[in-house]
Amino acid sequence: MLVLTREIGESFTIGDDIKVQVLGITGNQVRLGIDAPQHVKIHRTEVYRRIAARLQQLAAQSSTS
């Protein structure tokens, strides 16, 4: 895992086409802005896990049909 220290307004890039910028810090929360191509899917981890579980459930249903 890469650990970075950034201040408000600073950014970093992932690959050639994804930019992440620190927009603000309030208490223990950090606001990030992510600029990425439209085909790149960006989800919070808890949402990604729900999507993956649902896809797995649908795959299991279609294999039993």
CA distance 57 to 59: 5
User: What pLDDT was estimated at residue 64?
Assistant: 78
- CB-based contacts of 64: which residues, under 8 Å, 6+ apart? none
C-alpha–C-alpha distance, residues 59 and 10, integer Å: 42
CB 36 within 8 A of CB 18: yes
> How confident is the prediction along the chain (65 residues), in pLDDT tens digits per residue?
999 999 999 999 999 999 999 999 999 999 999 999 999 999 999 999 999 999 999 999 988 76
Q: Domain ranges for the chain, please list them.
A: 11-64
pTM: 0.79
